[in-house]
Amino acid sequence: MPSPTYYVSTPIYYVNDAPHLGHAYTTVAGDVLTRWHRQRGEKVWYLTGTDEHGQKIMRTAEANGVTPQEWCDKLVGEAWQPLWEHLNIANDDFIRTTQKRHTDRVQEFVQDLYDKGEIYKGGYEGPYCVGCEEYKLPGDLIEGEGGTQLCAIHKKPVELLKEENYFFKLSEYGPKLLEFYEANPGFIQPESARNEVLNFVKQGLQDLSISRSTFDWGVPVPWDTKHVIYVWVDALLNYATAVGYGADQARFEEIFPADVHLVGKDILRFHAIIWPAMLMANGLPVPGRVAANGWLMVGGEKMSKSNLTGIKPQDLTSHFGVDAYRWYFLRAIAFGQDGSFSWEDFTARYTSELANDYGNLASRVAAMVGKYFGGELPATPADGDAERAVHDGLATAVAEADRRIGDELDFQGGILAVFDFVKQVNGYLTEQEPWKVAKDESAEGRDRLATILYTAAEALRGIAVLLNPVMPETSQKLWDSLGAEAALGALAGQRVQDAGAWGALAPGAKVTKGAVLFPRLEEKPA
């Protein structure tokens, strides 16, 4: 049974370095999704955080001459949390895996598995990628210079490790997982990701090493403190510990399991195979959906810190603005697919769609209401076919955007539905030519002008509601410009599914021409 709360999580991000565009892409997507559901009137919980244990963190800290905890504290306080605040991320919680509320519960969870006979002691030898914090199978490796075995993701040599570990009986859960996937075809998205997981599980699963004994930066195994818990087991459990597992049962049952885990496709197997198997083993409910986004590509390479294509989000927000940044990646890239970023593409879309289509529409309507009606929204005496087409266009945009964003996680499709309506309203004004109608000073001419401008303003009211989860600051500016706050209340309280109900904006509203929503871009910084 689904929980009473719509629960969405991002991955918890590894803090070996500062965040780049790829991290922000997933986090913005989760923010838009949860803002959307809040505007549906639902109770929502949005979780993000940082993964702070493991060999990679330990080595990074050593290289920087500090302890692992000092390194994590510095990165979280100076880079990760400030960026989410900068990007207007409305997360409900930020969990760190070094927090006691997490580490204590991780030990309890693993102890329960051990007591149930799901964990045994054994030895393992094999290639290990410190970047992935994962033992690699032969199919996960590529050959480098001189026959060196490289991780296919990080393009760096793997290390041959041999150690005594504790193992989780993951191999026993292959049939159970396949049965679950069959009964829940929407559990893994997109379809290509689902197929990858199905094929992997059908080949047979190996038991999972859930401890490490060659270093000590991690959560100690409770029954054998010479070992620390494998960082991925530790990390995955954040989705449970953050919402009260083992500490607040009522809260846990209200929120858990997650409705949507947003993940990068390179960590899909952990979330779609290991995580549900761990939950099944401990008798806990399985998440509703694991949605894997694609990679952001720059110059044909996956964006990452290791290949030096990592770009700071602030490099873009300082030029384009935060709202445009939030809009661009979800509009330009189909969620679930790889997508290329370029400064030139961002500039072209900003100028064409945001500044010319959307921003200019808002500016023109406010200016004409001010010029012809003294800034007071006129009543619409009689709607004709042209106006009814705009009514229908808004209703269509609402239904399409709500389905695509709220239900299907098709952010691009939902945003395009809204901007198709923006184009329709621009076309309506071009055809009706209110600037010419204004020259007719008869009562009929005045009524016709009032109808045109009310129609355009009411259309903008619907657009402001629909784009509020995507561009909250800009939508608020438009809401204020339309004088909607006084009559309709706070923008955040408007229901997206009701945004198509025509006539919500009352005649007499004070319409003002505020600052330009999307200013002309300056020259690209050097």
**What is the separation, in whole angstroms, between the first and last Cα of the chain?**
54
Q: Report the alpha-carbon distance of residue 191 to residue 178 in Å, rounded.
A: 15
Q: Known catalytic residue: 391?
A: no
- Is residue 421 within 8 A of residue 396, CB to CB? The reply is yes
Q: Report the alpha-carbon distance of residue 291 to residue 268 in Å, rounded.
A: 8
Residue tagged active-site, from 132, 136, 227, 319: 132
* Cα distances (Å, whole numbers) of residue 502 to 20, 392, 397, 488: 42, 9, 13, 13
DSSP alpha helices (H): ranges in 256-334?
268-269, 275-281, 313-320, 322-332
Q: Known catalytic residue: 53?
A: no
Cα 17 to its chain centre, rounded Å, is 20
Q: Is 176 helix (H, G, I), strand (E, B) or coil?
A: helix
Q: Count CA atoms within 13 Å of residue 450 on its CB side.
A: 19
φ and ψ at residue 202, rounded to 5 degrees: -65, -25
Residue tagged active-site, from 56, 72, 129, 319: 129
Residue tagged active-site, from 156, 305, 423, 513: 305
φ and ψ at residue 185, rounded to 5 degrees: -65, -20
Cα 489 to its chain centre, rounded Å, is 27
Show the tokens assigned to 162.
Answer: 């041999």
> How many C-beta atoms surround the C-beta of residue 304 within 10 A?
20
Q: Count CA atoms within 13 Å of residue 369 on its CB side.
A: 30
Residue tagged active-site, from 74, 86, 154, 423: 154
DSSP alpha helices (H): ranges in 185-320?
191-202, 231-236, 238-241, 249-255, 268-269, 275-281, 313-320
Residue listed under structure tokens 């026993």: 172
Q: Known catalytic residue: 102?
A: no
Q: Known catalytic residue: 72?
A: no
User: Which residue, 234, 229, 278, 256, is CA-closest to 99?
Assistant: 234
Q: Report the alpha-carbon distance of residue 169 to residue 172 in Å, rounded.
A: 6
* Residues noted as catalytic: 20, 23, 129, 132, 151, 154, 302, 305
